[in-house]
Chains A and B, each alone.
Chain A
Amino acid sequence: MISEEQVRHVANLARLGLTDDEIVKMGTQLDAILDSIEKIQELDLTDVPPTANPLDLSNVLRPDEPRPELPQEDALSPAPERVDDLFAVPRID
């Protein structure tokens, strides 16, 4: 069983606001989902390598050459708030 406190902890890790009602409902639903997921624990997979990428790619690099990228003005254009050439945010607490 996932406790209400755990739900609050995880919501905080995810920077996700939830109302008290949502916390309770989320706990119940997460319990049911986690219950169904438990099934994978019955497999002994101690020596099985994990798969992170289905094509088994690793360390894909491109040549280290400068190239034009998104102009600063374009990158800033969708920002909710800006000051000069910067993204603006409220006080960092």
Chain B
Amino acid sequence: MPDSLLDLTAHALARKIETGEVSVREAAGIANARVGEVESEVNAFVTTTPELALERATAVDSKNGDRRLWEGVPLAVKDVLSTRGVRTTCGSKILENFEPLYDASALLNFGEDLVMVGKTNCDEFAMGSSTENSAYGPARNPWDLSRVPGGSSGGSAAAVAAGESWWALGTDTGGSVRQPAALCGIVGLKPTYGRVSRHGLIAFASSLDVVGPMTRDVRDAALLLQAIAGHDPRDSTSANVEVPDYLADLEDGVEGLRVGVVPELMGEGIEPGVREVVESAARNLESVGAEVGEASLPHSGYGLPAYYIIAPAEVSSNLARFDAVRYGLRVPADGVHDMYRKTREEGFGDEAKRRIMLGTYALSSGYYDAYYAQAQKVRTRIAEDFRAAFSRHDVLLSPTAPTVAFRIGEKVDDPLAMYANDICAVPANLAGIPAISVPGGLSEGLPVGVQLMGDHFTEPLLLRAARATEQVTDFRFQMKP
């Protein structure tokens, strides 16, 4: 029996733990064994924590009766989320030996004894779409080990797809939960901006970053969102909005639900195989009672350029904290300025340097209005587009990513080709709305994600639509390799 536990969804495992059929320690042992079996091929983790997982599992087992449903299911945590006493690198050399003093607030509902199998690989400071920008080597797509798992939460996606964890947390600034979920055949949810605390999330672009679940199915995503959502006085941008029961209406179906397919995200640059999967999902939703129409987002073509100003501008400011004074790498030098320059030269990888440069340029005297201020106004236009669309539709439908998983090395020297992979994902970040990627089928034998977007704080509705979407497709979670 033990091995078949690997095939369960997280909520099914949680139920077995709740009834005492399976112990948390047993579950942690199974996850550890699977990590040992496939990790040398997948490289989903920067740091694995097998002993810690067992130790804390024992503690959770002893809490019998007094624990929440999600607590016993081992979790993989993206390496940009602070974990008390467990090194947190952000995929960067500059934090190679950094051990946070506290857990990120998003983890606190797992209690003191978060059963964690490890810290997952990611693009450096979550900047990238392939996990190739990690100082700890690229993670690999379990569906085809010569391909990328997407990024930046590629390690989290690969860990779930490879069965190294039942579920994982990622972060999404411009698609970093949804795009890797799409490329690895799993579910990825980017909640409404502010729905989950950012305290202890090492910041990339503060006005866009959000923590999100990466799971085997939509029900698992709802359960994991339940565990991480909520207001946090330590994050002034977290929303003081009541957390609803995300599981309550999940199975209520889409009868009468108004679904708008976004034509601007279905055309140029979208692979035909990807488009077909999305069109087929729309037809299938219609067949179970949804009212499917078109929902135009006229400014969505400006999303990517606006994003690639705002995100680098914010990161150039956020990464200024890596000054070799309070934590992280220090390269010795005679003077303090040389110390800054040498430390940052050695500690940051190519993409981090590129974005710091781009952002510093966009914010520098004489360029601020043309770039950053203009991009913030584009952001307003994109939010207005969504408002108009949501006055006529309940959810919007598009591809999550324009392509299936590409080959490792294929785009690494062409930043623009890499950035283009985020084209369908960034509008939701700019507007701060929730969006979810659900596997819709295969193209060229590789998974394709269907993206659903909803209005601010409509996660219950969005999850319900996503649940129906996964149920009308032929795709079911498959553990690879």
Which of chain B's residues have a CB closer than 8 A to the CB of A29? 354, 415
A26:B353 contact, CB within 8 angstroms:
yes
A16:B327 contact, CB within 8 angstroms:
no
| Nearest-neighbor residue (CB-CB) of A62 within chain B | B233
| Nearest-neighbor residue (CB-CB) of A14 within chain B | B360
Interface residues of A in 69-92 (CB under 8 A from B): 70, 74-75, 77-81, 87, 89-92
A48:B308 contact, CB within 8 angstroms:
no
Q: Output the least CB separation between A16 and chain B (Å).
A: 5
A77:B101 contact, CB within 8 angstroms:
yes
A37:B316 contact, CB within 8 angstroms:
no
Q: Output the least CB separation between A4 and chain B (Å).
A: 13
Question: Cβ of B248 < 8 Å from any Cβ of A?
Answer: no
B335:A92 contact, CB within 8 angstroms:
yes
| Nearest-neighbor residue (CB-CB) of A81 within chain B | B330
Q: Output the least CB separation between A77 and chain B (Å).
A: 7
Number of A positions contacting B (CB below 8 A): 51
Binary per-residue interface labels of chain B (248-292) against chain A in the complex, 1 for a CB within 8 Å, 0 otherwise = 000000000000000000000000000000000000000000000
User: B341 touches which one: A16, A45, A60, A91 (CB < 8 A)?
Assistant: A16
Q: Output the least CB separation between A89 and chain B (Å).
A: 5
Interface residues of A in 52-66 (CB under 8 A from B): 52-55, 57, 60, 62
Question: Cβ of A1 < 8 Å from any Cβ of B?
Answer: no
Binary per-residue interface labels of chain B (105-147) against chain A in the complex, 1 for a CB within 8 Å, 0 otherwise = 0000000000000000000000000000000000000000000
Number of B positions contacting A (CB below 8 A): 71
A93:B336 contact, CB within 8 angstroms:
yes
User: A17 touches which one: B308, B325, B342 (CB < 8 A)?
Assistant: B342
A90:B332 contact, CB within 8 angstroms:
yes
A78:B326 contact, CB within 8 angstroms:
yes
Alpha-carbon distance between A13 and B330 when the two chains are bound, in angstroms: 19
B353:A18 contact, CB within 8 angstroms:
yes
User: A50 touches which one: B237, B329, B380 (CB < 8 A)?
Assistant: B380
Which of chain A's residues have a CB closer than 8 A to the CB of B159? none
Alpha-carbon distance between A20 and B442 when the two chains are bound, in angstroms: 46
Binary per-residue interface labels of chain B (300-317) against chain A in the complex, 1 for a CB within 8 Å, 0 otherwise = 011011101100000010
Alpha-carbon distance between A75 and B332 when the two chains are bound, in angstroms: 21
User: B344 touches which one: A16, A53, A54 (CB < 8 A)?
Assistant: A16
B316:A14 contact, CB within 8 angstroms:
yes
Q: Output the least CB separation between A51 and chain B (Å).
A: 4
Given contacts A16-B353, A54-B431, is CB(A37)–CB(B341) below 8 Å?
no
Binds A, one of B19-27, B31-39, B371-379, B460-468: B371-379
Q: Output the least CB separation between B215 and chain A (Å).
A: 24
Which of chain A's residues have a CB closer than 8 A to the CB of B416? 32-33, 36
A78:B237 contact, CB within 8 angstroms:
no
Question: Cβ of B324 < 8 Å from any Cβ of A?
Answer: yes
A50:B305 contact, CB within 8 angstroms:
no
| Nearest-neighbor residue (CB-CB) of A70 within chain B | B101
Given contacts A37-B305, A93-B336, is CB(A43)–CB(B357) below 8 Å?
no
| Nearest-neighbor residue (CB-CB) of A89 within chain B | B336
A37:B360 contact, CB within 8 angstroms:
no
| Nearest-neighbor residue (CB-CB) of B382 within chain A | A51
Interface residues of A in 27-45 (CB under 8 A from B): 29-30, 32-34, 36-41, 43, 45
Alpha-carbon distance between A60 and B266 when the two chains are bound, in angstroms: 39
Alpha-carbon distance between A17 and B306 when the two chains are bound, in angstroms: 27
Question: Cβ of B334 < 8 Å from any Cβ of A?
Answer: yes
Instruction: List 15 additional A-B contacts (Cβ < 8 Å) besides A10-B357, A70-B101.
Output: A2-B361, A14-B320, A14-B344, A16-B348, A29-B415, A40-B302, A40-B375, A43-B381, A49-B380, A53-B237, A54-B432, A55-B239, A62-B236, A90-B333, A91-B336
Q: List 12 A-B contacts (CB under 8 A).
A: A13-B360, A13-B364, A15-B341, A29-B354, A33-B354, A37-B305, A40-B305, A40-B374, A43-B302, A55-B432, A81-B330, A93-B334
